[in-house]
Structure 1
Amino acid sequence: MDINSSMSNEIQEEHHEGEGEGVEESDTKICDLPDELLQLIISSLSTKDAFRTSILSKRWVDLWKKISKIQLEEGEPEKREQFLDFVWRLLLDFDCSNLKKFSLSCEVGEDAPQINQWLHGFINPTKIEELNLDLKGIEEPLVFPDYLFTCGTLTEFQLCMKHIFQIPSRVHFDGLKNLILENIIFPDSSTTQPFFDGCPCLEELDLLNCSWLNVKHVCISSPLLQKLIISEGAGDDDDEDDLGGPNVSNCCNIVISGTNLKSFSYDGDFRNVYSLYSSSSVIDAVVKVQAHEWWNEGCYRDVGYSAFSFLKGLSNVEKLHICDAINDTGTLLGHLPLFRNLAELSVGDHVSPIELSCEALLTVLRNSPCLQVVDFLGGVSLPKDASNNSYKILDPLPTCFREHLKKVNIYGFHGSSVEEVLAMKFLLREASVLEKLYVFSPATYLPYERVMKVCKRVARFPRARRCKIEFESLHKNKKGNGVRRCKIEVESLHKNKKCNGVKGKN
């Protein structure tokens, strides 16, 4: 029994009522199209729907067997045997000579030998262009076909598996442009370095929660690399010693050299040592830190130094997102580079506000003379003592406040402290060319009346003539079934310098 007969009853039941009408419509609209075009149309469907077309007429029985895309995704655990049987029958009936895109997402478990055979069967080294593998629960090594690593047609490769990545001795991806590796464990330095060296045409590289425990040193260098994303998630204890700190002996020295790199993003806990070279081309950068509860003052200081080392290589960025970890770098702040091209700056996280008097923040602001937009992702505050002595603490005032800063976005207003209002007062007063202050409150427990009261108070603060203020907040519906979004706008000052009224709308 082939794959057609194995699923015919199910398909006929689902399409029984409209089958005749569907065939008639196909005959009147696409029956005259050549097989090649029909196969292209079928390839845009899911694999299951592509197979369903085999019941339309005799002509369609074999058309699906030569489509260019296969997507296989395992469903519920209780249907695993059906899934395994379907894939085997598919492999027997399907013509893989035309397959350009292959995607497989499934639990491996004890069936690694079967998965290995699937990979060898579906991957055609002379045709495959896009390969996406999401393999879970691996109990024994998967063996990828050696010819995959010398495939000249492959342009996109995405691999997600929490297991050792078996890399052959010879790697050469002539056309690989996009590579995403997630949760994989690199085997050792001797095979990991040749792997990256064998990707000379990479334009985008994502390394998501990968383990470098077995690797001492690696250099990632590609003349065409334009975008690099590195994520090291908190919660993986493999790199921590018994005392709750990073295991320095297991750190990997990762050197990044990108002469054509445009976008760089790091989000993690700096469990490895990174060095960034030849990065003057980067215009969009993110440096975020995932803190651990067990971190002590020394950990924060070390992480601050690591974040600082990244910033040193990002002096030409136009957009930058940083956390406040660099505040622990002490005297190194005086050596922070001048960000001459920086136009958009995002600071902090979505958890807690950053102090406007923070030494690291002030240093970045002072070193960004052309800054136009600042986003405070977790809110911003100004302590009372700093507010009373703002001219001393914030002296010298960043040049951008007087010349270029047009918009300030505060995304984490909680309305729980006067320090938040003091920060807004200072920003409105000192940013003499500011055109808009946007304040968003995600705290649904904050009453609308409280937001309106704060807005009216802020509306009385001195500010640039053209500056508009906009408050936006979320509030629970009175019946408790959902959330509504409210917006309050404060118009700009008239020439007579009187503050306009506040307009609110739900």
Structure 2
Amino acid sequence: MKNCQGVMSSECREIARNSKSKLLRSEVETLSHCTDTTWLLPCNKRKRREDYTCLYDRISELPDDILVTVLSRLTIKEAARTSILSSRWRYLWKWFNGCLNFDNPLTMGDYNWTLGLGSQPLDVERHKFVSWVNQVLRSLQCHSLEGLRICFDVASNGDIHNWINFAVEKKVQKLDLDFSRVQDFSWPVAEYTFSPHLDSYSSFSSLTALSLNTVAVTGEALEHLLSCCHFLEVLTVIHSPCLTSLKVSGPSLRLKYLKLHLVLLQYVEIDAPNIISFEYSGSGIVFFRDVPNLTEVSFDRFFCTYIMNKLRQLSTILLQLHTLKLNLAFVSVPEAVPYDLPELCNLKHLEMEINLFDDDRLLPCAAFLRACPSLYKFTLKLFRVHPSSGTARTVKDHPYLSVCELSVRVVELVGFEGQRAETEFVMYLIEKAKLLEKIIIDPCIPKYLGTPKELLYRDSEEYHSARKHAIELGARFPLWDFVIP
């Protein structure tokens, strides 16, 4: 046997031993998910036999369609690197038909904060990014494409037009266009306008998922697109100032997941029998028509103000929910909420976000907990503008909420600091929730979760101080399972 630079993983080696006539679909799946690609490296005659052992390369003998299937499970960069293996692999990557993900970190998100770079290299990196995308798209020869994701701050509408035309030509199934601007720069936000030619939307008939961020699109255009895309199941629209009204309806509509973050939206009507999940951030009124399968909703604070005053009118929708997420930060909650709230008999997961500048901000949480007899998990995200004054009425002082029993089994508090109101609320839950199994207390600021700032904050003195308070609280109740990250 020859010597080589790498060793094939046991998983890949087993597949390589099989002849191509006996290769099963399951084996291709295993191979395509294998992260050990060192078996692809060429042999190095200078290595000694005692270093590594190279098996006979049966992988390269597989049919092209199988190899392309494997390559399409990689990223486009990883797939392109295989072109150096041998002449057999040189052009295979050009038939890549998986998900193309062009996310330029140098032009997206917290640019200065994350990378510590100035603004001068931004234009240079933007130009490099556009050139790279164009070069890849020109090279690909596949007939269809699973997905195309481009995260980029708008600089050239001409290039974006070409990218979308490429998606149409390749019958892309998942299209994600994120043209939001760099947060640390103050120049006006430039928006790309989605094709104004409505007839062209019929070309997107293969779409199953569409996400538009900082893309100018009208309600008329979206409604026409929904009527043309009979397989569309996921629709996300974020920041489109020209979108003021929207009607989501259609006899053949397959839409299951709808996410709208539109501050200027004034009116939304949803008549979609297959819709399962709806996430909404905006001040416009939402009218629910035929939504029998809707079980998950998430409402931001603008619409939550409307909800808190229309609980009885929305009871039909609330009663069918399994998951409810409410952002009540800076929302004025009427005192009648505990009495007006209908029994949410099907709710299994409740998530609420509040700003704890007064102790009575926890009253709506207790009211919703009381109204959920089948609740399994309650997640509370705490946000502060300044410490609690400690002068408002607490949950234990409320005549209606202090005498109830709760059914919740798992409680998660995110953003815990150890303030008196937080501690008393945990004690209230322990006393009233007889079936309580676990209490998760995470001192991390909610908005930092999943971002680069999370790791930095978890190393801060503020975090460790709050974590110490959480540990001390857990020690007071040894019979309960406290989980503290």
**Which amino acid is 1:37 matched to?**
I
Corresponding residue SS for 2:61: coil
**3-state SS of 1:180 partner:** strand
Look up the match of 1:178.
209
Whether 1:112 and 2:194 are equivalent positions in the alignment is: no
Q: Structure 1 residue 327: deviation in Å?
A: 5.2
Gaps of 5+ in 1: 1-17, 139-159, 234-238, 240-250, 291-298, 460-466, 474-484, 486-506
Instruction: Pick 1 or 2: higher relative contact order, CA cutoff 8 A, min separation 6.
Output: 2
Change (3 A) 1:53 1:305: same
Shift of 1:35: 2.3
2:417 counterpart residue number: 414
Is residue 379–residue 411 contact of structure 1 (8 Å, CA) maintained in 2? no
Structure ranking higher in strand proportion? 1
Cα offset, 1:33, TM superposition: 1.6
Q: How does 1:337-486 map to 2 (within 5 A)?
A: 337-349=342-354, 351-352=355-356, 355=359, 360-378=364-382, 386=393, 390=397, 392-394=399-401, 397-398=403-404, 400-401=405-406, 404-417=407-420, 419-442=421-444, 443-444=462-463, 446=465, 454-455=473-474, 458-459=476-477, 468-471=479-482
Once residues 414 and 36 of structure 1 are traced to their aligned partners in structure 2, the CA distance between those partners, rounded to angstroms, is 56
**1:227 lines up with 2:257 in the alignment:** yes
State the one-letter code of the partner of 1:176. Answer: L
CA distance in 2, matches of 1:357, 1:112: 47
Residue 378 of structure 1 deviates from its aligned partner by 2.1
Whole-Å separation in 2 of the counterparts to 1:125 and 1:319: 39
Per the alignment, residue 275 of structure 2 pairs with 261
Q: Which residue of 1 aligns with 2:290?
A: 278
TM-score by length of 2: 0.64
- 1:318 paired residue among 317, 322, 325: 322
Report the CA distance shift for 1:340/1:355 in structure 2 as closer, same or farther (over 3 A). farther
Cα–Cα, structure 1 residues 449 and 330, in superposed 2: closer, same or farther, change >3 Å?
A: closer
Q: Secondary structure at the match of 2:270?
A: strand
1:112-261 counterparts in 2 under 5 A? Answer: 112-120=157-165, 122-123=166-167, 125=169, 127-135=171-179, 162-170=191-199, 171-172=201-202, 173-187=204-218, 189-207=219-237, 209-211=238-240, 213-221=241-249, 223-232=253-262, 239=264, 251-261=265-275
- How far apart, CA to CA, are the structure 2 residues paired with 1:113 and 1:373? 49
Letter in 1 for 2:299: V
Moved more, 441-450 or 255-264: 441-450
How far 1:276 sits from its partner (Å)?
2.5
Tell me by how many angstroms 1:339 deviates: 0.8
- Could you give the per-residue CA deviations for residues 379-405 of structure 1, whole angstroms, max 9, x where no partner exists? 99996885697373536x33x53xx34
Aligned to 1:56: 85
**8 Å contact from structure 1 (residues 282, 316) kept in 2:** yes
**Hey, what's the Cα distance between the residues in 2 that align with 1:68 and 1:389?**
59
Instruction: Give me the CA root mean square deviation.
Output: 4.5
Q: Is the 8 A contact 1:373 1:408 kept in 2?
A: yes
CA contact (8 A) 1:344 1:371 kept: yes
Aligned CA distance change for structure 1 residues 177 and 53 (closer, same or farther; 3 Å): closer
1:78 corresponds in structure 2 to 124
Identity %: 20
1:219 Cα offset (Å): 0.8
Q: Which amino acid in the other structure matches residue 168 of structure 1?
A: H
Partner Cα distance (2:480, 2:383) in 1: 16
Aligned counterparts of 1:426 and 1:41: Cα–Cα separation in 2:
54
Q: Deviations over 1:444-466 (max 9, x none)?
A: 2527775565455x44xxxxxxx
Is the contact between residue 411 and residue 440 of structure 1 (CA under 8 Å) also seen in structure 2? Answer: yes
Query: For 2:482 and 2:44, how far apart are their aligned partners in 1?
Result: 55
Seen in structure 2, the aligned counterparts of structure 1 residues 124 and 305 have a Cα distance that, compared at 3 Å, is: same
Deviations 1:447-502 (A, max 9, x none): 7775565455x44xxxxxxx9334555xxxxxxxxxxx5xxxxxxxxxxxxxxxxx
